[in-house]
Amino acid sequence: MIDLALSQNKEIFVLNLGPQHPATHGVLRVKLLMDGEYIVSAEPVLGYIHRMHEKMGENRTWAQFMPNTGRLDYLGALSYNHGYARVVERAAGIEVPERAEYLRVITVELNRIASHLLWFGAFVLDLGGFTPLLYAFDDREMILDLLESVTGARLTFCYFRFGGVYNDIDDNFVPGTRAFIKRLRKRMPEYHNLVTKNIIIIKRLRDVGPISAGMCRRYGATGPVARGSGINYDVRKNEPYSVYPEFDFDIPVYEDGDSMARYMVRMDEIEQSMRIVEQALDRLPDGPVMAEKVPKIIKPKPGDYYSVVEAARGTFGVRVVSDGTNTPYRLKLRSPTFSNLSLYGEAARGMLLADALALMGSLDLVIPEIDR
C-alpha cells in the first residue's frame, strides 16, 4: 500500500480493466486511475448487459417471471427460485408441503456447493493456477448430473413452483447424492493440500484486500464477504425460513477480513452444506411435492411483501407490490453482489494492481446478477 496523499508522481494514467478482462467473471469494466502499479481510484462501470429484469417482472404474470430468476445469478439459480417463490407464497397465502420444503433445501444446498466449487476453480485460475479448476469442475459435474435428473436443467434452473416443486426425485437421486457427498469429503483434503496450504496462494491472499466489518456495514455487504470480516450473519440462522431450523449446521466466520478469510469461509461452507444435505436426506418425509388447490392464475391480495434467502453470495431479497391483479405492480430485487461490488472502489485504493485482482476474485462476482 502507498500513501496516496503523499504521492507526488504527476504521471497518473487511466487503465481500463475490462469489459472483457479474464479476471472479471462477466461483462464488467473497472476504470482504474493508476500511479505506476498502484491504484489511486477504482470505479466499477455497469450497464453492458442490463436486461431490465424488474421491468420484465411487471409485464408478466406472477408465474411467468419464475424463469427469469435463474438468469440472475446463473451459478446459484435455485436460491433465486426460492426467494421469489417464498415471497409470492407469502402474498398469496400458499402453504408448501413438508416434502417439497426438504427437496428445496437439498437442491439449493447442492447448488450452493456447485457455485462455490466453480468460484474456487475460477479464483485460483485468476491467480495463475490452472489445475484446481479441472478438479473443481470434475466434482461440480456430478452435482449438475444430480440436479439435471430432477430439474431437467444444468445451469439456469427453474425447478420451484408456487406451492412446491416441479416434480419429485427419482429412485437414483438419494443414493447418487450420498455417493457424491462421500466422494467430495475425500476430495476436500486434496483441495486444501493443493491450494489452501500452497505457499504461493498464501502469499497472494493473506493480508491482501482487507475489508473491515464497518466497511461491510456501510455498503451493505453480506454473505461470505461479510462473514470473512467477522460479521456473524446468515439468513438461514438469523431469520430462519423453510426447514432450515430443523438442521444442525454452523456458520463459518473469520475475523481477519482479508482475501484468505473470504476464501476460507467458502471452503468451510461447502462442508456445512454437505452436513445440511445429509440431514435432509436422512429425514426426508413422504408426501406430496405440491400444495393442493394452488390457483392456476395467481392474484395476491393488494399489499407490499418482502422475502429474503441466503444465496451463495449473500442476502437475496425480493420485494413485490400487488394491486390484486395477475401481474406484479412493482418488483424489486435486492442483489447481494451489487452491494459487495460497491465497496471495491474504497477497498482497492492504494493496492497493487495484481493484489486488486485477487481482491476482486475474492468477492465472487456474478455480473448478470448485478447488471440485471
Each residue's pLDDT tens digit, 181-193 = 999 999 999 999 9
Per DSSP, the residues of 317-340 read EEEEEE-SSSS-SEEEEE-HHHHH
Q: Which stretches of 74-130 are DSSP H helices?
A: 77-92, 98-126
Distance between CA atoms of residues 236 and 311, nearest Å: 10
Q: What is the pLDDT of residue 271?
A: 97
Query: Confidence class of residue 171 from pLDDT cuts 50, 70 and 90?
Result: very high
CATH superfamily of 62-339: Cytochrome-c3 Hydrogenase, chain B (1.10.645.10)
Phi, psi values for residue 263, rounded to 5°: -60, -45
Q: What is the pLDDT of residue 277?
A: 98
> Which H or E element spans position 145?
helix 131-151
Q: What is the pLDDT of residue 17?
A: 84
Q: What digits encode the pLDDT tens for the residues 270-291?
A: 999 999 999 999 999 999 999 9
> Which H or E element spans position 332?
strand 330-334
Q: What is the pLDDT of residue 6?
A: 43
Q: What is the pLDDT of residue 43?
A: 94
Q: What is the pLDDT of residue 19?
A: 80
Q: What is the pLDDT of residue 24?
A: 58
Per-chain mean pLDDT for the chain: 93
Q: Are 121 and 102 in contact (CB under 8 A)?
A: no
The one-character DSSP state at 243 is: T
Query: Phi/psi class of residue 331: alpha, beta or left (left: φ > 0; alpha: ψ in -120 to 50)?
Result: beta
Residue 318, all three cell numbers? 425480493
Mean pLDDT of all residues in 122-136? 92
Q: How many CB atoms lie within 10 A of CB 153?
A: 16
Total-model pTM: 0.94
Q: Are 283 and 258 in contact (CB under 8 A)?
A: no
Query: Confidence class of residue 226 from pLDDT cuts 50, 70 and 90?
Result: very high
Distance between CA atoms of residues 328 and 272, nearest Å: 36
